[in-house]
């Protein structure tokens, strides 16, 4: 079972991934955590390129690099973990590219969705949590300043709106959670949704 966490930088994804992992592990479920872009040598290398360099990267090149990192992650980490029976928690997945490069940068959605499909080899999360917070709060929580974060307030407003659109389009998979509450309160909401879909432990 693949569960992804989405939302603006600083919305609380890593915090919630950790809380859910601990809860699942305490009940005996095998859990693997991956972050995007990253988790394989190639993907970490691409992460450095995308987030920590000053070089010019065009919107389409950026979208393809994120998807190249994702293709490697799915192939050599996520699929094997799922096949081994783990519950896989992914800190960002393909909806990030739809929200940031599609809605944020303005690339045609059909192109982005098709590239995502190729990169993930059709793998979709069973459940996706969009942690929704106002842009100002996300920036306040987020301490860092990387390439993606220098894109400006309007860019992040478009990304937030994009995530909401994604949730509206796929309500069975994507749950939009009000993440302005405390970490424990947000976790309680997430846990409620996860519980309903958990495979039972034999
Ligand atoms: N619900 C919350 N209320 C208040 N502060 C929070 C909440 N969730 C997380 N934080 C704090 O906000 C900061 C960002 O949280 P976190 O690193 O989990 O976000 P993130 O979405 O993973 O960010 P990034 O995209 O930059 O990795 C951290 O200092 C964290 O402790
Ligand atoms: Mg994080």
Quote the pTM value: 0.95
Cα separation, 103 vs 38, whole angstroms: 22
Q: 70 CA to middle of ligand 2, Å? A: 16
Residue 60: which domain range? 2-195
Q: Domains in the chain: how many in total?
A: 1
User: How does pLDDT run along the chain (202 residues), one tens digit per residue?
Assistant: 999 999 999 999 999 999 999 999 999 999 999 999 988 999 999 999 988 878 899 999 999 999 999 999 999 999 999 999 999 999 999 999 999 999 999 999 999 999 999 999 999 999 999 999 999 999 999 876 665 666 788 999 999 999 999 999 999 999 999 999 999 999 999 999 999 998 765 4
Sign of the torsion formed by the C-alpha atoms of 44, 46, 47 and 49:
positive
Is residue 139 in contact with ligand 1, taking CB distance under 6 Å?
no
Collect residues with CB below 5 Å from ion ligand 2. 13-14
Residue of the nearest CA to atom 25 in ligand 1? 9
Is residue 13 in contact with ligand 1, taking CB distance under 6 Å?
yes
The CATH code of the domain that includes 169 is 3.40.50.300
Atom number in ligand 1 closest to CA 91: 22
Instruction: Please give the angle made by the CA atoms of 153, 154 and 155, to the nearest 5 degrees.
Output: 90
Whether residue 202 lies inside any domain: the answer is no
């Amino acid at each position: 079972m693949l569960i992804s966490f989405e939302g603006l930088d600083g919305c609380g994804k890593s915090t919630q991934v950790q809380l859910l992992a601990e809860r699942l592990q305490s009940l005996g479920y095998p859990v693997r955590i991956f972050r995007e872009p990253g988790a394989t040598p190639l993907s970490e290398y691409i992460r450095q390129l995308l987030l920590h360099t000053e070089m010019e990267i065009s919107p389409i090149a950026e979208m393809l690099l994120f998807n190249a990192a994702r293709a490697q992650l799915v192939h050599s980490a996520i699929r094997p973990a799922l096949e081994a029976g783990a519950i896989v928690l992914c800190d960002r997945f393909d909806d990030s590219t739809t929200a940031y490069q599609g809605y944020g940068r303005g690339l045609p959605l059909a192109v982005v969705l098709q590239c995502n499909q190729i990169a993930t080899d059709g793998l979709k999360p069973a459940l996706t949590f969009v942690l929704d917070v106002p842009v100002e709060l996300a920036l306040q929580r987020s301490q860092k300043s990387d390439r993606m974060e220098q894109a400006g307030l309007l860019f992040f407003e478009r990304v937030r709106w994009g995530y909401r659109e994604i949730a509206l389009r796929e309500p069975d998979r994507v749950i939009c959670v009000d993440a302005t509450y405390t970490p424990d309160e947000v976790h309680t909401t997430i846990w409620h949704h996860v519980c309903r879909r958990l495979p039972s432990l034999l």
